[in-house]
Structure 1
Amino acid sequence: MSLVPMTELLKKAQQGHYAVGAFNCNNMEIVQAIVAAAEAEKSPVIIQASQGAIKYAGIEYISTLTQLAAEKASVPVALHLDHGTSFAQVVQCVRNGFSSVMIDGSKLPLEENIALTNKVIEVAHSIGVSVEAELGKIGGTEDDISVSERDTLFTDPSDAERFVREAKVDALAIAIGTAHGQYKGVPKLDFERLKEIRKRVDTPIVLHGSSGVPEEAIREAISLGVCKVNIDTNIREAFVAAARQVMEQNPNEIDPRKMLGPAREATIAIIRGKIQIFGSSGKA
């Protein structure tokens, strides 16, 4: 099947009280692994491209690889821009076939974030492309986007209510204690804040920086209304660890397929585990 809008997946997730996994890709093997894992679990899936992925692989390669994977898949697949930084970049992704985009105006004042988001919505919704926005700052580093711990701000529930009232986004990423990258300790999520936001906002809620969050915390967040869970760091860890093991065991190996093949299999395994936690197995 062809790529589907993210909205289609998240509406069903919200109704079914589960979450759809959004997994970041950087190369062909990871794209293949994401779709293979979704196929094995019979789960809908979102493939994401971050700033770093676009810079490394090129937007045309990512789009073409994902569209081919989606066409061959029996499960619904969305292609999503993760943390879009500008209106121009969003337009570029839309032109290259992305079925969903995120505009990250979280560093802007609330009014400016709303205005930028509405500008993106006007273009994206006119051709059926979903839009995610972010309110509040999520700590850590996501490729070229970094927020220091002292500047991390949790999402204000009243701001969230106003945001979705004035900008009709398809999904809203909120800050409740997660962080991008590897955690220094065990993250503690602000579930009371999530409950209050859920009371005020009916828009599907997104949890960024979910690698390293304990399984029970992820399940709790989903039970309280999170419909999309982003995973990147765990994928990198599994992929690199498997490739490194081959190189350490066979230092004279020169066939990249002997390294990337096991890395792809390790990635499939980690993604299948996440899908099971998110509750989307069998929901395709």
Structure 2
Amino acid sequence: MKNNIIRLAKELGFAIPQMNVNGLIWIEGVLKAAENQQSPIIIGTTDKNIEYLGGYEFILNTIKNKVQAMKITVPVIVHLDHGLSVENCKAAVDAGYDSVMFDGSQLPIEENIKQTKKVVEYAQLHDVLVEGEVGAVGGEEDGLIGQVKYADIDECVALVKEAKLDTLAPALGSVHGKYQGEPNLGFEEMTIIRNQVDIALVLHGASGISNNDIQRAIKLGHAKINFNTEINISWSKQLRDTLDENKELFNPQKILKPSIQAIELTAEKIIKMCGSNHQSKTLFKKNGDEKLWS
């Protein structure tokens, strides 16, 4: 079952990248990269973008149809990123999402636990994974704005144990969007949290973090790492270049094709950084069940 995938990645010592989509061409570029690299992939849809993307059912079915049309053979998990409410998380579960994140990081820890538990109890009925968050990831991306606030270790442990989470995103110095200066990740805190909770950790705001720091975070229990800004920068740069090179160009396919390729190439680089390339067969073998992703 799909709920094994992140746990198995943690056991095997790599991370599965989550790449957020902002439209159909992101889906195509990310899926091509995953298939080329034979990597499991998590496609994220940020809750603040759901209305723009057409609603939970529409975007989920669009991704599923694209997977089928492209004959994708690697495991694809569709995830609700930064769920804004318990009701929204339930709506994503009802639509058929594989995984949801309830973002209660702005709430007092007692309320965060209370609300997250509601999501977990509902999601478990449908075999859906739940991710929770403690602390605050800084920066701005997809309408999410925040100042960096390191996660409290005791609160992390309480949220995991009381809400019975599948994955935990402890905010430890990463930011959404572009970094101003060098990232300052809390590796000491990661070590303590890893030693106190027996679930996979999630790193948000990974675009711009060095390969060495990504590898260190993976060794400290991060088995899901989220990317968005890096892909969007590559896409937008290529789009500008294409239009600048031929100011008379108006054919949509000729304009968009190079930008899809830019998404694909950036996604492949991310996959290799996370070490998930060529891991699909390993996961099948580890699980001993070819219906792992059904």
Pick the TM interval, shorter chain. over 0.9
Q: Distance in 2 between matches of 1:173 and 1:19?
A: 14
TM-superposition CA deviations, 1:219-271 (whole Å, max 9, x none): 11111111100000011101111111111011111111112111110111011
Aligned residue in 2 for 1:282? 278
Please say if 1:9 is aligned against 2:8: no
CA offset digits 1:113-145 (Å, max 9, x no partner) = 011001001111101111111011111123222
Write the deviation string for residues 16-64 of structure 1: whole angstroms up to 9, x where unpaired. 0100000000111110111111111111000000134313221243212
Whether the 8 Å contact between 1:25 and 1:31 is mirrored in structure 2 is yes
1:46 aligns with 2:42: yes
- Whole-Å separation in 2 of the counterparts to 1:220 and 1:126: 35
Note if contact 2:7-2:199 (Cα within 8 Å) is conserved in structure 1: no
- Whether contact under 8 Å (2:34, 2:74) holds in the other structure is yes
> What SS does structure 1 have at the residue aligned with 2:168?
strand
Q: What one-letter code is carried by the residue in structure 1 that aligns with 2:138?
A: G
1:171 pairs with one of 167, 174, 178? 167
Paired positions, count: 277
Query: What is the CA–CA distance in structure 1 between the aligned matches of 2:105 and 2:259, rounded to whole Å?
Result: 34
* SS of residue matched to 1:153: coil
Give the match for residue 63 of structure 1: 60
Give the fraction of aligned pairs with identical amino acids, expressed as a percent: 36
Equivalent residue, structure 2, for 1:97: 96
Structure 1: which 5+ residue stretches go unaligned?
Answer: none
Alpha-carbon separation, structure 1, partners of 2:263 and 2:87: 32
CA separation in 2, counterparts of 1:167 and 1:16? 26
Trace 1:65-144 onto structure 2 (pairs within 5 A).
65-71=62-68, 72-144=71-143
Give the match for residue 261 of structure 1.
257
- CA contact 2:153–2:189 (8 Å) conserved in 1: yes
Q: Give matches, 1:141-220, under 5 Å.
A: 141-148=140-147, 152-220=148-216
Partners of 1:113 and 1:74 lie apart in 2 by 37
| Root-mean-square deviation over aligned CA pairs | 1.2
What amino acid does structure 1 have at the position aligned with 2:247? P
The TM-score normalised by the length of structure 1 is 0.94
Q: Distance in 2 between matches of 1:52 and 1:114?
A: 22
3-state SS of 2:271 partner:
helix
Structure 1 CA distance, aligned partners of 2:236 and 2:171? 28
| Conserved? CA contact 1:51–1:144, under 8 Å | no
> 2: CA distance between counterparts of 1:214 and 1:226?
15
Distance in 2 of aligned mates of 1:187 and 1:197: 20
List 4+ stretches of structure 1 deviating above 4 A.
none
SS of alignment partner, residue 229 of structure 1: strand
